[in-house]
Structure 1
Amino acid sequence: MISFSTIDGTPVYYWRSNRGNTTPRTWYVTQAFYDRLVLWVRDLRSLSSGYGSVSYLVSAGFYVNKAGQHGAGTAMDLDHVRWSGGTTCSPLDQAHASGTQSIRRRYIAVDAVCRRRFRYALDGWYNSAHADHIHSDFGDLPPRCVKGSSSDCKFVQAMCNNFMNSGLAVDGIWGPLTTSAFNTAKSRLAVTGDPHTTSSVWMSMMSKVAQHGFANTAF
């Protein structure tokens, strides 16, 4: 394990016991996971550059003494992102369920950036346990879209609903309506190749989704 308080220079705070706290906190992960976090935060900066720089991140945890990816030091729970221009994205405040479309789209954008670098991203649509954070971990890499994954399917369904008004049930079942909406999204985003089998195609698609989400534009 290594310790850190910033990811590539961006502070990571803890708000669960004191919201708004900006006291530096020491976190622990494996070196390999930290290296992936650096790639992730650089993606986030690049794709959201219209908001200014990423001022800070807030997390509910990385290494935690329990079984699973957190216990292995290969997981992140993301609570909040703030940019220098004042814009925020707050999974902690259940932004995925906001009544404001632009806030939901921004949440999906952050979610998509996570999915560029992490195979497992569990968000507010996945289940109630993740309503207040986005969990990302090292499980089952490389990143790609797996039809049989409830997390991936619900993300795709929510994405299609929020950017194309597809009217899908966010039920985690990859049926013909989800297939049709996903193919429409691929076409509108000019995605070529198979995001289900080719990691680079899925990563490219997630970049395009993130760009639309941060810009609050439909596709």
Structure 2
Amino acid sequence: MITFSRIDGTPVYYWRSNRGNTTLRNWQCTQAFYDSLVLWIRDLRSLSSGYGSITYLVSAGFYVNKPGQHGAGTAMDLDHVRWSGGQVSSPLDRHHASGTQSLRRRYLAVDAVCRRRFRYALDGWYNADHEDHIHADFAGLPTVCQKGSRSDTVFVQAMCNNFMGSGLSVDGDWGPLTQSAFTTAKSRLGISGDPHTSTTAWRAMLSGIARHGFANQAI
């Protein structure tokens, strides 16, 4: 395990016991996971560059002494992102369920960037346990869009609803309506290749989703 308080220079705070706290905290994870966190935050900076720099992140945890990916030091729970332009994305405040479309789209943009680097991203649509954070972990790499994955399916359904008004049930069932909406989104984003089998194609699609989300633009 390594110990860190910043990811590639950006401070990571803890708000669960003291919201607004800006005291640096020592976190732990494996070196390999930290290396992926660096790639992730660089993606996030690039795709959200119109917001300015990322001022800070807030997390609920990385390594935690319990079974699973957290116990292996290969997971992150993301609570909040703030940019120098004043924009925020706050899973902690359940922005996935916000009544403001731009906040839902921004949440999906952050969600999409997580999925570029981490195979499993569990978000507010996944289940009640993840309504107040986005969990991202190393398990099951490489990153592709799997129709049999509840995590991927609810993300796709929520994305299609929020960017295209598809009216899908966000139920984790990849049926014909979800497939049709996904195909439309893929076409509108100009993605070649198969995101279900190609990491390159899926990451390109996620980047397109993120750009539209940060710009609050329909697909």
Matches within 5 A, 1:127-166: 127-166=127-166
Q: Is residue 218 of structure 2 the alignment partner of residue 218 of structure 1? A: yes
User: 1:125 matched to which residue of 2?
Assistant: 125
What is the total number of aligned residue pairs between the two structures?
219
User: 2:168 matched to which residue of 1?
Assistant: 168
Describe the SS at the equivalent of 1:70: helix
Amino acid at match of 1:150: R
Describe the SS at the equivalent of 2:111: helix
Describe the SS at the equivalent of 1:60: strand
User: 1:91 matched to which residue of 2?
Assistant: 91
User: 1:39 matched to which residue of 2?
Assistant: 39
- Cα distance in 2 between the residues matched to 1:185 and 1:192: 12
User: 2:50 matched to which residue of 1?
Assistant: 50
Describe the SS at the equivalent of 2:81: strand
Amino acid at match of 1:21: N
- Cα distance in 2 between the residues matched to 1:114 and 1:144: 12
Gaps of 5+ in 2: none
TM-score in terms of structure 2 length: 1.00
User: 1:17 matched to which residue of 2?
Assistant: 17
Q: Which of structure 1's runs of 4+ aligned residues deviate more than 4 A?
A: none
- Cα distance in 2 between the residues matched to 1:20 and 1:211: 28
Amino acid at match of 2:73: G
Shift of 1:142: 0.8
Shift of 1:84: 0.3
Matches within 5 A, 1:1-12: 1-12=1-12
Q: CA RMSD in A?
A: 0.3
Shift of 1:16: 0.1
Amino acid at match of 2:136: S
Describe the SS at the equivalent of 1:142: coil
- Cα distance in 2 between the residues matched to 1:111 and 1:87: 16
- Cα distance in 2 between the residues matched to 1:171 and 1:15: 31
Q: Is residue 198 of structure 2 the alignment partner of residue 198 of structure 1? A: yes
- Cα distance in 2 between the residues matched to 1:23 and 1:186: 42
TM-score in terms of structure 1 length: 1.00
